Structure 1
Amino acid sequence: MSANQHVVQFSGGVGSFLTAVQVAERHGTAGMTLLIADTRVEDEDLWRFSEDASAFLGVPLTIVRDGRTPWQVFYDQRFLGNDRLAPCTKVLKQQPCRAWMETNAPPDRATAYVGIEPNMHDRNRIPAIVRNWQPWTVEFPLADGPDATKGELLAQVRHLGIRPPRLYELGFAHNNCGGACVRAGQRQWKHLLATLPDRYAHAEHEEEKLRALLGDVSILRDRRRGTTRPLPLRSLRARGAVAVSTQRDSRSELSARSDIGCSGLPCRRSAPSLKPGSAIASRVSTASPTSSPKRPKSRPTKGR
């Protein structure tokens, strides 16, 4: 292995890829490792993107595996991961990556890089990550740069000629767990049901099996009127179906009554008119790649 190793904790997301690009620019790729954990539930396009990133950088993926899925971890630990605590992250990602680091990247010769995105919310995670990765030195080159939105980061990826992972295009904030992350809230699970219903159904089925084993537990919680109770995915689906049905009934009633005026007589419909020359324009912002402050580059390291 190289005397100076640069190990990028590569998640298959936009943040870790752009971090790897910055590390390559500063240190070269001879001593770089793209370390990624396979949880066996990732969206198939994550692996397409990861291979594209690997080819772009000229660095092969180093894949580590526990061998189980998150659901199997929940069975083994008799605990259903949820939006407050998810043992799958530690078991399937952190522990395999740390085991690889202990064997292949001694702390006195290796630096770990984590793709924290450049916004205040994500930067707040840095102290905990530094503590968890001791005794290795951890750097966050993307977070050290100027603030950028997710859209701007995706634009940088496209600018480099790489198609971003499809989960971003489908409206998901992160490219992990195939969109079915137990740490996600109700909004993302509703979005999963709307966009990838088969994947939602699989998670719903697995949750029901764990509920049969563990009792009244759930991934999500329903917080209403000062009380908190389990909210199974089955109930969230039913709640959504009721909401859709109610909306349809309301629209039907409104349509049936929309021709009746206050006097009970039919109203005459008229289309809204626009003044000549007026227009309604939507504002489109074109993101251009942002650049982080220039830093002196070190001499590229030799191959491993």
Structure 2
Amino acid sequence: MKRKPVHVAMYSGGASSAYVAYHMVQTYGRENSLLFFTNTLWEHEDNYRFMHEVADYLGMEITYRTDGRTPEQVFYDYKFMGNSRLAKCSEELKVRQTIIFLEELRDEHGLEPILYFGIGRHEQHRAENLKEFYAHRPLESVETRFPLISTFREEIDAKRIIEEDWGIKLPIMYELGFSHANCGGRCVRGGFQHYAQLYRTWPETYREQEEMEEQFREHFDKNVSILKRNGGPFTLREYRKELEQNGLQRYLSVEDDTVPCVCTL
């Protein structure tokens, strides 16, 4: 029996995924669409505000999936501190929850999911990776679409459209200078520029992340860290002292080296 298609926006809390969701709903209708969000429980509260205002604008509900653990709890469960090279938090809290949801759509509701991502031309490699990933998982391949690459000939100024045309204020983390809003700034895939930005903007959040890292190192008696330098561990405590000694500006001006999560922008 042929399944009915359902169009699923991978709703991340960013401007691009919001615009792609809008395009998807306008094209296929609310009755054939879903807004899907995997919650890590570390998101900034203004991200939730933005997502719900956009959902209201679209006349849609948000479908949430939550593992129930925070990234920190995942690190302890696997005895492994997440970093830019390997982040079990993304794998467990986002990818695994997404695959479970896709199987539910097929097995329990008889629907065939088609996934929509807010990835632009400047991230073509991410689109290719996601296309390849969902071609082999879950048990059957899942179609992936990237409208900002394949549909629109010109670059879409999603941020301007959302604020000026929709009248919705963007998430505060854009205004504060972050390149992404993953996990409210505590993303372990963030690099040196990201954590310098975090320390400048929310030093108390930086210290929370620093303390989490120190407790993990002590608990498991492992010389591990989120950041790496010269191929080895470089702790947030060491980095904070360097930032305080040398000044933030030189670190803020370097290129952001965050490695995006699999399912998010």
Shorter chain as normaliser: what TM range?
A: 0.7 to 0.9
| Cα separation, 2, equivalents of 1:68 and 1:16 | 24
CA change 1:214–1:79 in 2 (3 A) is farther
- Look up the equivalent residue of 2:121 and give its one-letter code: N
Q: What SS does structure 1 have at the residue aligned with 2:25? A: helix
- Look up the equivalent residue of 1:240 and give its one-letter code: L
In structure 2, what is the equivalent of residue 125 of structure 1?
126
In structure 2, what is the equivalent of residue 216 of structure 1?
223
In structure 2, what is the equivalent of residue 110 of structure 1?
113
Q: What SS does structure 2 have at the residue aligned with 1:5? A: strand
- Look up the equivalent residue of 2:128 and give its one-letter code: P
- Look up the equivalent residue of 1:81 and give its one-letter code: G
Q: What SS does structure 2 have at the residue aligned with 1:4? A: strand
In structure 2, what is the equivalent of residue 229 of structure 1?
232
In structure 2, what is the equivalent of residue 54 of structure 1?
55
Q: What SS does structure 1 have at the residue aligned with 2:63? A: strand
Shift of 1:28: 1.4
CA change 1:179–1:127 in 2 (3 A) is same
Q: What SS does structure 2 have at the residue aligned with 1:173? A: coil
Structure with the higher fraction of residues in helix conformation: 2
**Aligned runs of 1:124-273 on 2, under 5 Å?**
124-134=125-135, 135-144=141-150, 145-146=152-153, 148=155, 152-158=157-163, 159-212=165-218, 213-223=220-230, 228-244=231-247
What is the aligned residue count?
237
- Look up the equivalent residue of 2:233 and give its one-letter code: P
| Cα separation, 2, equivalents of 1:130 and 1:82 | 24
Please say which structure displays the higher CA radius of gyration.
1
Q: Which runs of 5+ in 1 are unaligned?
A: 248-304
In structure 2, what is the equivalent of residue 96 of structure 1?
97
Identity score, percent: 33
Mapped contact 2:121–2:148 kept (Cα < 8 A) = no
Shift of 1:244: 3.4
Shift of 1:3: 2.6
Mapped contact 1:80–1:219 kept (Cα < 8 A) = yes
- Look up the equivalent residue of 2:90 and give its one-letter code: T
Mapped contact 1:115–1:143 kept (Cα < 8 A) = no
Q: What SS does structure 2 have at the residue aligned with 1:67? A: coil
CA RMSD of aligned residues (A): 2.0
Q: Which runs of 5+ in 2 are unaligned?
A: 136-140, 251-265
| Cα separation, 1, equivalents of 2:60 and 2:83 | 35
| Cα separation, 1, equivalents of 2:127 and 2:247 | 41
- Look up the equivalent residue of 1:238 and give its one-letter code: K
Q: What SS does structure 2 have at the residue aligned with 1:36? A: strand
